[in-house]
Amino acid sequence: MMYPNGGGYANAGLSSMEMAAVEWLDGFYSLEHLLCARMWVMKLCPEAPLEVRFAALVHDSERHFPGGPSSTPSNGFDDPDYLFAHSTRSADFVEEWLRNRSPALDNGFIQRVRRLVLRHEIGGGWDADFVQAADSLSFLETLDWLTVDWVRSGRYTIEQAREKLDFTVERIRPSVAIAAALPLYERAVRTLESAHDTTIDLQKRREIASSRRLLLGLPLGPEESKAPIR
């Protein structure tokens, strides 16, 4: 495959509303992370209702839009001021998007999605615990390159970035998700610890992680590079 990390969601079976949300968030460096979180919630909890799947898909949406709190806080990753500001802003964006796109959409659905997005960092209730776990698993699986980027750019030391990986794995509650997270955590730690030596092309990795077309295996637009990554 030309794009080893691309096209992985070509068979994701997105509903029309989910596809529209992916279009809304096209270009967001966490788009791959969002698609992966949705996949994890379906794997962990195949019977989960639509709002759980949809909340997983849009839970970090606010980071795509300028003006939010820094996603690299200086008070630690478990800082409630940051986590609550991020979750509330995401829930507001998602609610506004849903109401604008589908004025006749069931208000109960919107409220259930809103509650899950608000709780995606802290869990609480079986459904929010699964969204939080899916977020965590997806971070470990798809955003290890971001921790390398933090180190390479001087934002954090390796030890400080490691705290994000520790925080991410330690907050998981469902035992089935803890078991799934451990090998991903070990791999992410190895990637981070090689931050100064790795040959990851961070720019290309970010391009793939952000591109709806690359992730869904759609025909490429003129703006997308056709060079393979390593």
- Give the integer Cα–Cα distance in Å for 87 and 154: 26
Looking at 9-17, 47-55, 56-64, 143-151, which segment touches Fe ion (CB under 5 A)? 56-64
- From residue 181, give the alpha-carbon distance in Å to each of 39, 73, 163, 206: 14, 24, 16, 23
Looking at 43-51, 54-62, 67-75, 148-156, which segment touches Fe ion (CB under 5 A)? 54-62
User: Residue 76 or 228: which CB sits closer to Fe ion?
Assistant: 76
Q: Give min distance, CB of 59 to Fe ion, in A.
A: 6
- Give the integer Cα–Cα distance in Å for 9 and 175: 26
Out of 18, 121, 129, 135, the only residue in the binding site for Fe ion (CB under 5 A) is 135
Q: Give min distance, CB of 34 to Fe ion, in A.
A: 7
Q: Give min distance, CB of 64 to Fe ion, in A.
A: 12
Contacts of 140 (CB under 8 A, 6+ apart): 165, 168, 169, 181, 184, 185, 187, 188
DSSP state string for 60-84? TGGGGSTTS--SS-SS-TT-HHHHH
Two tokens, residue 105: 């959409």
User: Residue 51 or 135: which CB sits closer to Fe ion?
Assistant: 135
Q: Give min distance, CB of 124 to Fe ion, in A.
A: 16
User: Residue 136 or 226: which CB sits closer to Fe ion?
Assistant: 136
Binders of Fe ion in range 76-95 (CB under 5 A)? none
Q: How far is CA 119 from the centre of its chain?
A: 15
Out of 60, 127, 129, 149, the only residue in the binding site for Fe ion (CB under 5 A) is 60
Q: Give min distance, CB of 55 to Fe ion, in A.
A: 11
Going 98 to 99 to 105 to 107, the CA torsion angle's sign is positive
Residue 32, interface with Fe ion (CB under 5 A)?
no
User: Residue 97 or 220: which CB sits closer to Fe ion?
Assistant: 97
- Give the integer Cα–Cα distance in Å for 77 and 75: 7
Q: Backbone dihedral region of 154: left (phi > 0), alpha (psi from -120 to 50 degrees) or beta?
A: left
Identify the residue whose tokens are 């090689």. 194
User: Residue 72 or 220: which CB sits closer to Fe ion?
Assistant: 72
Q: Give min distance, CB of 67 to Fe ion, in A.
A: 18
Two tokens, residue 198: 């790795």
User: Residue 132 or 211: which CB sits closer to Fe ion?
Assistant: 132
Binding site for Fe ion (CB under 5 A): 60, 135
